[in-house]
Structure 1
Amino acid sequence: VFAERGLAGASTAMIAERAGLPKANVHYYFPTKLALYRRVLDDLFEDWHRASGSLEDVQDQV
């Protein structure tokens, strides 16, 4: 939802619906939309960091 609508255009209701969860469950773990957005970005950056490490391993072998 964030990728499609951005932070301002997304709502926790939309996110909960897309995830197939009650909105209350989303708010239990993420009290604000910004907290959820930050977690999404943290996870994304961690994935990118892990992926870039594997590229460095390949480059070292060349």
Structure 2
Amino acid sequence: MDELTAGLLESAEWRKATRSGDNGDCIEVAPLRDGRVGLRDSEHPELPAYVVSSSVWAAFIDGAKKGEFDF
């Protein structure tokens, strides 16, 4: 991870779905100042975050709303 990305993740405002409750069993997301989106495991926020472009995030959200990832 480059220094710029590390800095953006450090100052990111992480959030998770309210539906996940307080058990920490969720993925947190954060919009980054450069337009990308950070993702991390809320149970282990110390682990490296995954960063995607805004277009990848939009495609994921679209697919989730359409039920494409339902098991």
- What TM-score do the two structures reach when normalised by structure 2? 0.29
- The structure in which a higher percent of residues are helix is 1
- What TM-score do the two structures reach when normalised by structure 1? 0.32
Q: Which has the larger radius of gyration?
A: 1
Structure with the larger RCO, 1 or 2 (CA within 8 Å, 6+ apart): 1
- The structure in which a higher percent of residues are strand is 2
